[in-house]
Chain A
Amino acid sequence: MSDLVDDLLAGKHSALARVITKIENRSPGYREIVSDLHEHTGSADVIGVTGSPGAGKSTLVDKVAATYRDRGLTVGVIAIDPSSPFSGGAVLGDRIRMASNAGDMDVFFRSMSARGSLGGLSTATTDAVTALDAFGKDKIIVETVGAGQNEVDIVRTADTVAVLVPPGSGDDVQMLKAGILEIGDVFVVNKADLDGADRTVQQLREMLQGRDGRPETGHHGATELGGDATALEANGDDEPETWDPPIVETVANRSEGVGAFIDALANHGDYLDRTGRRVRQTRERYASEIRTLLREDANELLADELARRGGIERYVDDVVERHTDPYTVVDEVLEPLRECVAERRDG
C-alpha cells in the first residue's frame, strides 16, 4: 500500500487532497490507490445537490455543512463546475460561498471542473467520493449543475438527490421535465424570500403528482441495470412502500429552512434503510461502475490495438474503396482478442 493511502487513512488532509488530484488527473497509480481505499468505504451518506446555475446550491451546501458540523459530524463536499469545459482553463467559483465553514478543516471542500470530458468526470466523482468516504467523512455532498445525461450520471453517485428550484418564470420548472424531475428525492424551492415561491411550490407539486407511479420511484429506477433489480422486487411484498418526494422551502443565504431540509434528507435515508432500497441502490451503482470501467478499459485496449495496426484511416480507405467493409474490419481487429479469450477459457 502506498504512503499516500496510509496517510489518507491516518487522517492527513493533504494526502486526501493529493489523492483526489491523482484521481482527477488519472495519474499513474491512481487505480491502485482507489482499489486500496475501497475496503475502507461504506459508512458515509452521499447526498447529491443539483439545480440550475445560481439556484443557490453552494449557499445551501455551505449552510447544511455547518449544521452537520454543529451536530458533530464531519463533511466532505465536491463542487463540480462545468463552466468553460473545453477551453482548458476555468475559474471555479463555488468555494466563494463557503463562508460558514471558514478555516474548519473538518469540512473538506473540493472544486472540480469538467476538464473537457463529462463522461470521465462521473468516474472521477465516484472515485473522489470513495476517497472522502475512506477518509471517514460522515456526510458527503456532491454539488453539480443539473443539465443533461452526464450530470444525471454524476448525481447517481448519491444515495439521496436534492433538486433546487428557484422561484421564477416557470422556465425552471419547465426545465425539470427534461429528466431532472425523475432523479429528485427531495425538492427544494430555495430563495423562498422572492416573489413567486408559492406558485413554484404549487407547480412542482402538480408535476410530482404526475410523476410515473411505479412502485420504484426515486432516481435509481431508471438505471441501465437489466432484470435483476425488478426480479428482486417482484419477489418482495405485494405493495412495496413508495417515496413521495417532499418539497422544502429554504432561504439559504439566511439559513432559513435548513433544518427542515436536513430532516427531509434524513427521512429519505430512513426510507432507503427501511425498504432495503439502499442495499439495492448500492448494488446497482457497483454494477454500473463495473460496466463503465470495463467499457473504458476495453476501449483503450482496442484503441491501442488499432494504433498498432496503423490507425483507423487505413481501414477507412479500404472501406471507401470497397475492398472491405466495417464488419470485416471489426472481425479482423478483434480476432486475436477472441482467440486469446477462447484459449484462456479452455485452458
Chain B
Amino acid sequence: MSVEQEQAERTIRCLVAKVGLDGHDRGAHVIARALRDAGFEVIYSGLHRAPEEVVQAAVQEDVDVVGISILSGAHNTLVPKILDGLKEYDAFDDRLILVGGIVPDDDKDELRNLGVDEIFGPGASMEEMIDFIHDNAPER
C-alpha cells in the first residue's frame, strides 16, 4: 500500500487570507482555485479577518505559504501586524509570505524588508505564482 502511496513531493499547504475591511474577494477566490488546481491544499480564511486571526490560522494549519490578499490600501499597517504575530508564535522563518492585490511600487521595498517574500499585483500570471511557490517553499 505505502509503496504506491509514497508521494514524490509532500503536499504544500497554503493559506489565502483576506485581512481587514476589504471586500475585494475576487482575486482571493481566483488564487485559491488556481492553487488547488496546481495540487496544493488551500485554506481560505473568508473575508474581514483580523491580523490575529490570520496568524492563528497560519500557525494552526501549519501552512507552508501565508498568502495575504489586500486591495484596500491598508497593507502598511496590517502586514506588519501579521508578521509580528507569526514571529511571536515561532512561525515566521519556515514560511513563505506572499502579498497579493494593490500595492503601490513605493511600498514594496518596505514590505520586503519586513520579511515579505514576494508581492503579486493585478495581472500577475498564475503560472508565475505557482512556479514561485514550488521554487521557494521552505524545506522542512
Contact = CB atoms under 8 A, between A and B. Distances in A.
Interface stretch (A110-118, A147-155, A241-249, A336-344): A110-118
Interface stretch (B2-10, B101-109, B117-125): B2-10
The size bracket of the interface on A is 35 or more
Contacts of B33: 91
Given A102-B50, A103-B53, A89 B36 contact: yes
B2 A18 contact: no
Contact of A102 (B38, B53, B59, B89): B53
A23 B59 CA distance: 16
B78 to A, nearest CB: 14
Contacts, number: 101
Contacts of A117: 5
B96 interface: no
Contacts of A17: 59-62, 91
Given A96-B45, A303-B1, A109 B60 contact: yes
A168 B133 CA distance: 44
Main secondary structure of the interface of B (DSSP, over half): mixed
Contacts of B140: 21
Given A300-B1, A300-B2, A303-B3, A92 B41 contact: yes
Contacts of A296: 1-2
A64 B48 CA distance: 22
B56 A120 contact: no
Given A103-B52, A104-B56, A91 B32 contact: yes
A12 interface: yes
B61 A110 contact: yes
A88 interface: yes
A95 B44 contact: yes
A222 to B, nearest CB: 25
B90 interface: yes
Contacts of B5: 116-117, 120
A110 B10 contact: no
A226 B83 CA distance: 54
A14 interface: yes
A111 B61 CA distance: 7
B10 A25 contact: yes
Contact of B42 (A13, A14, A91, A299): A91
A84 interface: yes
A103 B80 CA distance: 16
Question: Considering residues A25, A111, A299, which has the most beta carbons from chain B within 10 angstroms of its beta carbon?
Answer: A111
Contacts of A105: 56, 59, 89
A91 B35 CA distance: 9
Given A92-B42, A96-B46, A299-B1, A18 B32 contact: no
A321 to B, nearest CB: 26
Interface string A80-105: 00001001111111011001001111
A14 B55 CA distance: 11
A235 to B, nearest CB: 39
A320 interface: no
Contacts of A20: 62
A247 B40 CA distance: 39
A89 B133 CA distance: 14
Question: Considering residues A90, A91, A99, A304, which has the most beta carbons from chain B within 10 angstroms of its beta carbon?
Answer: A91
Contacts of B111: none
A18 B95 CA distance: 12
Given A12-B90, A14-B90, A103-B53, A87 B46 contact: no
13 contacts: A13-B59, A17-B59, A25-B10, A25-B11, A88-B39, A89-B38, A89-B40, A89-B42, A92-B41, A95-B43, A103-B50, A109-B56, A303-B3
Interface of A: 12-14, 17-18, 20-21, 24-27, 84, 87-93, 95-96, 99, 102-105, 108-111, 113, 115-117, 120, 296, 299-300, 303-304, 307
